[in-house]
């Protein structure tokens, strides 16, 4: 059984700050199992209680997991002085406390980004020890060679950084304006990793998109900038 204070539950479901939801409770707009709630600090058993606000049922989720098709031009951060962040472009009804992007994509990188409020989950997803591959499609200046494939397989040392072995193959050329496309699978998430690994090979990434994390593919029905909640089935394919 998981129990949580009523005001905390309402605030975590984005119904207002703790102060604001206390006002809703005072105004008699909140019910618990059909009875008008009177105390903000009332303990709610989230598995057994039905809570409503203004007659609408409130679903309680301990954590949320959001898939965004990140567009270029926004930064993977919770706040930024100059640029719009991925949280700025989330639909307001998806916003909730403590959300953060689990891992960073560069400002110009597009594709699959997970946004969550579950720190332990993010840590597991991102740790190279978890062996969860992140799959990228990279439009390149030059074609991929057999030597590149071998070099990626062996791991690359470049600019004072060591990049762990990665899988590289040629991708769907029709998706690349230059006609050269690669698919790269990496376990780490080092700064500019894919771009740097190609730079080490004398090539250049012209556009980069994350297509999958583990078994979870970017939902092609999501337009760039759109987001959706992950189902528990999708979540399990991720880990």
Q: Is 109 a residue that touches ligand URA (CB under 6 A)? A: yes
Q: Is 193 a residue that touches ligand URA (CB under 6 A)? A: yes
- Cβ proximity to ligand URA: between 96 and 196 the closer is 196
- Cβ proximity to ligand URA: between 44 and 205 the closer is 205
What does the alpha-carbon distance between residue 235 and residue 96 come to, in Å, rounded to a whole number? Answer: 19
Q: Is 192 a residue that touches ligand URA (CB under 6 A)? A: yes
- Cβ proximity to ligand URA: between 80 and 106 the closer is 106
What is the DSSP track for the chain?
A: --EEEHHHHHHHTTS--HHHHHHHHHTT-EEETTEEP--TT-EEETTT--EEETTEEE---S--EEEEEEPTT-BSSS--SSS-BTTTTS-GGG--TT-EESS---TT-EEEEEEES-HHHHHHHH-GGGT--EEEEEEESS---HHHHHHHHH-EEETTEEE---EEEE--GGG-TTS-EEEEEES---TTHHHHHHHHTT--EEEEEEEEETTEE--TTSPTT-EEEPPHHHHHHH-
# residues contacting ligand URA (CB under 6 A): 8
Least distance (Å) between residue 97 CB and ligand URA = 26
Least distance (Å) between residue 155 CB and ligand URA = 16
Q: Is 105 a residue that touches ligand URA (CB under 6 A)? A: yes
What does the alpha-carbon distance between residue 198 and residue 232 come to, in Å, rounded to a whole number? Answer: 35
What does the alpha-carbon distance between residue 48 and residue 196 come to, in Å, rounded to a whole number? Answer: 52
Q: Is 203 a residue that touches ligand URA (CB under 6 A)? A: no
Annotated catalytic residue within 7, 45, 80, 106: 106
What does the alpha-carbon distance between residue 2 and residue 209 come to, in Å, rounded to a whole number? Answer: 39
Q: Is 106 a residue that touches ligand URA (CB under 6 A)? A: yes
**Binding segment (CB under 6 A) for ligand URA, from list 2-10, 22-30, 171-179, 187-195:** 187-195
- Cβ proximity to ligand URA: between 21 and 218 the closer is 218
Instruction: Please state the φ and ψ torsions of residue 174, each to the nearest 5 degrees.
Output: -70, -15
Q: Is 195 a residue that touches ligand URA (CB under 6 A)? A: yes
- Cβ proximity to ligand URA: between 42 and 200 the closer is 200
Q: Is 208 a residue that touches ligand URA (CB under 6 A)? A: yes
Residue span 27-66 as binding mask against ligand URA, x where in contact by CB under 6 A, dash where not: ----------------------------------------
Q: Is 106 a catalytic residue?
A: yes
Active-site positions?
106
Interaction site with ligand URA (CB under 6 A): 105-106, 109, 192-195, 208
């Amino acid at each position: 059984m998981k129990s949580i204070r009523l005001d905390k539950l309402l605030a975590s479901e984005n119904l207002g700050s703790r102060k604001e939801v206390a006002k809703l409770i005072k105004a008699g707009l909140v019910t618990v199992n059909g009875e008008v709630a009177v105390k903000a600090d009332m303990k709610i058993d989230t598995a057994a209680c039905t809570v409503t606000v203004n007659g609408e049922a409130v679903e309680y989720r301990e954590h949320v997991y959001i898939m965004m098709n990140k567009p270029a031009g926004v930064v993977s951060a919770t706040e930024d002085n100059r640029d719009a962040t991925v949280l700025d472009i989330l639909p307001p009804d998806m916003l909730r406390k403590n959300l953060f992007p689990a891992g960073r994509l560069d400002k110009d990188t597009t594709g699959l980004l997970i946004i969550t409020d579950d720190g332990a989950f993010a840590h597991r997803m991102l740790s190279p020890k978890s062996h969860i591959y992140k799959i990228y499609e990279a439009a390149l200046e030059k074609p991929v060679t057999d030597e590149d494939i071998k070099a990626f397989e062996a791991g690359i040392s470049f600019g004072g950084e060591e990049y762990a072995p990665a899988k590289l193959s040629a991708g769907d050329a029709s998706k690349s304006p230059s006609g050269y496309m690669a698919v790269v699978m990496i376990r780490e998430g080092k700064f500019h990793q894919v771009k740097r690994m190609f730079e080490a090979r004398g090539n250049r990434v012209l556009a980069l998109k994350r297509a999958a994390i583990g078994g979870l593919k970017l939902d092609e029905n999501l337009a760039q900038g759109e987001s959706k909640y992950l189902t528990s089935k999708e979540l399990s394919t991720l880990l």
